Amino acid sequence: MHINIPVRLFNLHTVNEKTLEKLKILAGAAKYDVSCASSGTTRGNSRSQLGTTSGWGICHSFTSDGRCVSLLKILLTNHCIYDCAYCANRRSNDVKRTAFTADELAQLTIEFYRRNYIEGLFLSSGVMRNPDYTMEQMLRVVKTLREVYRFNGYIHMKSIPSASRELVVKAGMYADRMSVNLEIPSEANLKLLAPEKDFESVFAPMRYIQQGMLESAEDRKKFRHAPSFVPAGQSTQMIIGATNDTDRQILTLASALYKRPSFKRVYYSGYIPVNTNDSRLPVLATPPLVRENRLYQADWLMRFYDFKADEIVDDTHPDLDLDVDPKLGWALRHPEFFPVDVNEAPYEIILRVPGIGVKSAKLIVASRKFGRLSSSQLKKMGVVMKRAQYFIVCRELSMQTVNELTPQYVRRKVTQKQTKAAADLLQYSIDWGE
C-alpha cells in the first residue's frame, strides 16, 4: 500500500506566546520535584478513551542532567501564600507569578500525549488562598482531563499539605498516584524552614490516601467494577542536605513509610539552593549528589534485598559511607557472614553478596541444579566478579575471601575500581581521601 501525504498550503500557526511563557515559569518551578515515575499501574484501554498506563513506567526522554522525563511535570500556579525557605515560589520571593486555566493545561497534556512525548500529567501547585481552594483548582484540571478529554493515561497529583479529607478522597478517584512531600526529614527542622507546615499537615493527607486505597480495595472485593482509588499508590520526597538530619533518620523514616501498604516510593533530592541569603540554609558549592545516590542504593536494598534500615545505618554509622555502596559497606562490617557458597546457599543469602544482583541471583538458583557453577559461568550470568570474588565460593576451590584478606584490604581493592566509575557517573571530582 502506498500512502501519499498530500502537500497543502497553510499558514504557520503563530505560537501562543502566553502559553509558552506560562509553560516556562510553571515547569521551571516544578523541576525540583524529583519524582517522575509513571509506574505502578497497568491499565489497558477501551476504544472510547485515549491512553493506557504500563506497569513499569516509560521514560520518554532524558534531560541534560540525565533525569527521566515521563510526565508533564508542572505547577498549576506558582502563586503561594506560604514561605518555605527552600522553595523558589515562596511568597517573599519577587518572581513573576502566573497560572494555567484547567482547559489550557488539559489540552497541553493531550497534545503532548498524542505525540508520545509523555505518559501523562504530574500536577502540583503553589498554595492559592488556602489548601482546599488550591486542591479544588487542581481537581478541575484532572476532572477535565478524565471526563472531557476521556484521558486514560497516567496522572500523578500532589496533595497540598493540610488539604481536607474530602478533597483528597475526590482527587484520589482521578489520580493514579498521589504524593505529599515530606521535604524535611525531621519535624523540628521542617518547622524551622517551613513555618506554616508541621508533620501532621503532611501525614494527615497521607493517611487519607491510604484509607481511600484500603476502602476501595474492600469495595472491589464486593463489586468488581467499583472505581479504583490511586491504583499506583503514594510517594513522597525528602530534601537531602538542607538540614543536619542524618541518613539514619532519613532511612528510618523511609522504612517506616514503606511499611504502609500504600507507599510505593520515597524520593531523595539533593538540596540545590534556589534562595540565597537565608541564614537557615547551608551554603553548598555543589549539590550532595553522591550522598543522594547512596541513599537511593540503600532504599533499593530495603525494597528489593530485604535489608533493614538498621542494618544499613546504626548508632556507630549514622551516615552512609560515601566511598562504598551500602551493600558492600554492610558486607565489610560483617565478614563472618561470608564466604557464601553459591551452589548451596538459599536465594536470600546469595542476594547479600556484593556484586550479585536480583537478576543474577535468580539465574544462579535456577541453574545450579543442572551442575555446580563455575566462576566463568557466574560472570556470564552478570555477577561482578571483581567484587563478588571476595565473598563467595563456587566450583573452583575457595578463592581468597574477605576473611583471609581482611575487610580493610578488600575495601581498598574495591574502592580503587569504584572511584573511577562513580566519579564518571556523577562527573564530579570527588575527594575520596585516599
Partner 1 sequence: MTLFIYDHTFDGILSCIFYAYEHKTFPDAILSDADQRPLFIDEWHHIETDEKKSQRVWTALERKLSKSAQNMVLLVWLSELPETEMLLFGYFRKIIDHQHGFEMNFGDSDVLRVKEIARKVNGEAEKIRQFVRFQKTKDGIFFAPISAQYNVLALVAPHFRSRYPDQPWIIYDIARNFGLYYDTHSLQEVTFSLQDLKSFKSRKLENEKLSETEIYYQNLWKEYFETIAIKERFNPKLQRQHMPKRFWKYLTEMQ
Binding site for ligand SF4 (CB under 6 A): 80, 82, 84, 87, 89-90, 126-127, 194
- Give the nearer residue to ligand SF4 in terms of CB position, either 77 or 389: 77
Query: With binding defined as CB under 8 A, does residue 96 bind partner 1?
Result: no
What is the footprint of partner 1 within residues 273-312 (CB under 8 A)? 286-287, 289
- Give the nearer residue to ligand SF4 in terms of CB position, either 80 or 331: 80
Query: With binding defined as CB under 8 A, does residue 63 bind partner 1?
Result: yes
- Among 18, 67, 308, 412, interactor with partner 1 by CB under 8 A: 67
- Give the nearer residue to partner 1 in terms of CB position, either 25 or 209: 25
- Give the nearer residue to partner 1 in terms of CB position, either 47 or 224: 47
> Closest approach of Cβ 284 to ligand SF4, in Å?
19
> Closest approach of Cβ 64 to partner 1, in Å?
5
- Give the nearer residue to partner 1 in terms of CB position, either 65 or 336: 65
Query: With binding defined as CB under 8 A, does residue 429 bind partner 1?
Result: no
- Among 37, 40, 51, 411, interactor with partner 1 by CB under 8 A: 51
> Closest approach of Cβ 89 to ligand SF4, in Å?
4
- Which partner from the list partner 1, ligand SF4, none does 127 bind, CB cut-off 5 to 8 Å by kind? ligand SF4
- Give the nearer residue to partner 1 in terms of CB position, either 117 or 347: 117
> Measured between alpha carbons, how far is 388 from 410 in angstroms, rounded to an integer?
11
- Which partner from the list partner 1, ligand SF4, none does 69 bind, CB cut-off 5 to 8 Å by kind? partner 1
Query: With binding defined as CB under 8 A, does residue 366 bind partner 1?
Result: yes
> Closest approach of Cβ 351 to partner 1, in Å?
17
> Closest approach of Cβ 92 to ligand SF4, in Å?
9
- Give the nearer residue to ligand SF4 in terms of CB position, either 52 or 92: 92
- Among 18, 20, 261, 280, interactor with partner 1 by CB under 8 A: 20
Structure-block grid coordinates of residue 181: 512531600
- Give the nearer residue to partner 1 in terms of CB position, either 23 or 102: 23
Tally of CA atoms within 13 A in the half-sphere of 268 that contains its CB: 26
Contact 364, 350 (CB under 8 A): yes
- Which partner from the list partner 1, ligand SF4, none does 84 bind, CB cut-off 5 to 8 Å by kind? ligand SF4
> Measured between alpha carbons, how far is 344 from 83 in angstroms, rounded to an integer?
58
What is the footprint of partner 1 within residues 325-354 (CB under 8 A)? none
Query: With binding defined as CB under 8 A, does residue 420 bind partner 1?
Result: no
> Measured between alpha carbons, how far is 328 from 130 in angstroms, rounded to an integer?
47
- Give the nearer residue to ligand SF4 in terms of CB position, either 125 or 234: 125
Query: With binding defined as CB under 8 A, does residue 357 bind partner 1?
Result: no
> Closest approach of Cβ 189 to ligand SF4, in Å?
14
